[in-house]
Amino acid sequence: MPPVILIPFAVFFACCLGQFWFLKQVRDRLIDCHPDTFLQIEKSSIFPYNGLWRFTRGGKYKSLGDEELNRRIRNLKRLFLVAVVAWAAYAVALFTTPMQ
């Protein structure tokens, strides 16, 4: 297997690690500026961060009117999109590369 096909996997892995950083930024902004919303989000889920993921996936954050929070969530969504594209590129490269 040529090592070139590991590049999309490395991008995917870096994006996965980066998502934790961006999610922490969203969490910190909610705690600082919207603590009641943060508590409501976290109480709605059994697993840690699950409510926060649901909050960022839906459009509920837009109702807060916080431009800084919107920017952080946009960055998180962009990184998620890059991760999905990198994973798809890795899968295509893995199945189309001839094995030796």
pLDDT of res. 94: 82
CB atoms within 10 A of CB 17: 10
- Does residue 32 belong to any structural domain of this protein? yes
- Does residue 14 belong to any structural domain of this protein? yes
Range of the domain at 20: 7-95
Q: Given a cut of 90, is residue 8 above it in pLDDT?
A: no
- Does residue 100 belong to any structural domain of this protein? no
- Does residue 2 belong to any structural domain of this protein? no
pLDDT of res. 24: 92
Q: Given a cut of 70, is residue 1 above it in pLDDT?
A: no
Task: Give the C-alpha separation, 61 to 30, whole Å.
Answer: 10
Residue 5's pLDDT band, with cuts at 50, 70 and 90, is: confident
Please give the model's pTM, rounded to 2 decimal places: 0.80
